[in-house]
Amino acid sequence: MVNRMKIIMLGAPGAGKGTQAKMIADKYQIPHISTGDIFRANIKNGTELGKEAKTYMDKGELVPDELTVRILLDRVAQPDCEKGYVLDGFPRTIPQAEVLDQELTKRNEKIDYAINVEVPDENIVRRMSGRRACVSCGATYHLVHIPPKKEGLCDKCGTELILRDDDKEETVKNRLGVYHDQTQPLIEYYSNKGVLQSVDGTIDMMDVFKGITDILGE
């Protein structure tokens, strides 16, 4: 068993980061940490943090770094993160990556793998309009590619699935623009650190996962 595996998922919104991150978390027994899931849980529970995050998320903009970084650092300081974790949707900007690196350096640690899931923009809008999400347990499905066993209901917990507000076409286009401007530069950032690995995200999800486990090891 690999010790202290710290993994970052990179890729456009809808590339399949969450889908793969959940499988990685299961296989390697490390926590799956999604800043988007943390924000959505806060929105659902009506917290102050949720209210603030929602104003940005609804427009397809990024939640400010200061707020996002604080939440993420709190989360990775929890005891279950000692053996590693897979980050899904964080970092999304160079400053976020820099703060994470500084924190890790203090503890003599580093990111071991940054996995870039590559899917061209043309495929993204189609993927997002078919995405259905469970706000209760965070599971995601696709109407065509990864349908739930019972139409409209989560396989894992039975909750009714929804189309996320920010998965509507106009917002998705905005999110893609934000991705190219602010998040894509992270590919070079992690490439320069020698930890970047890219996989083709357009193929069947199990084949994408095979590519990832080839990288991470058995």
Q: Does the annotation count 17 as an active-site position?
A: yes
Of residues 38, 93, 86, the one with CA closest to residue 65: 93
Site membership for ligand ADP, residue 140 (CB under 6 A): yes
In the complex, least distance from residue 162 CB atom to Zn ion, rounded to whole angstroms: 11
75 near ligand ADP, judged by CB under 6 A? no
Task: Count CA within 13 A, CB hemisphere, residue 124.
Answer: 23
Q: Which is nearer to Zn ion, 52 or 155 (CB)?
A: 155
Is residue 189 close enough to count as binding ligand ADP by CB under 6 A?
Answer: no
| 150 lines the binding site for Zn ion (CB under 5 A) | no
Give all strands (DSSP E) within 11-157, no chain letters.
32-34, 84-88, 113-118, 131-133, 140-142
| Residue 98 interacting partner from Zn ion, ligand ADP, none (CB closer than 5 to 8 Å by kind) | none
Name the binder of 18 from Zn ion, ligand ADP, none, CB < 5-8 A by kind.
ligand ADP
Q: For residues 168 and 50, what is the distance between their CA atoms, to the nearest angstrom?
A: 20
Q: Give yes or no for residue 162 binding Zn ion (CB under 5 A).
A: no
With binding defined as CB under 5 A, does residue 134 bind Zn ion?
Answer: yes
Q: Which of 6, 17, 127, 132 is catalytic?
A: 17
Which residues, in sequence order, are CB contacts of 161 under 8 Å at separation 6+? 132, 133, 134, 141, 148, 152, 153, 154
For the question of residue 164 being annotated catalytic, the response is: yes
Residue 116 binds ligand ADP, judged by CB under 6 A: no
Report d(CA 158, CA 188) in Å as an integer. 41
Which run of H or E residues covers position 48?
helix 48-57
Does 133 bind Zn ion (CB under 5 A)? Our answer is no
Q: How far apart are CA 92 and CA 31, in angstroms?
A: 19
Nearer Cβ to Zn ion, position 34 or 96?
A: 34
**75 or 92, CB closer to ligand ADP?**
92
107 catalytic per annotation: no
> Is the Cβ of residue 159 or residue 184 nearer to Zn ion in the bound state?
159
DSSP of 49-70: HHHHHHHHHTTTPPPPHHHHHH
- Token pair for 7: 């993994």
Considering only CA atoms, which of 117, 118, 116, 120 is closest in space to residue 190? Answer: 116
Interface of this chain with ligand ADP, residues 25 to 44, rule: CB under 6 A: 34-36, 39
Q: Where on the chain is the footprint of ligand ADP (CB under 6 A)? A: 11, 13-19, 34-36, 39, 56-57, 60-63, 68, 89-92, 96, 127, 130-131, 140-142, 145-146, 166, 175, 204-205, 208
Catalytic machinery residues? 17, 92, 131, 164, 175
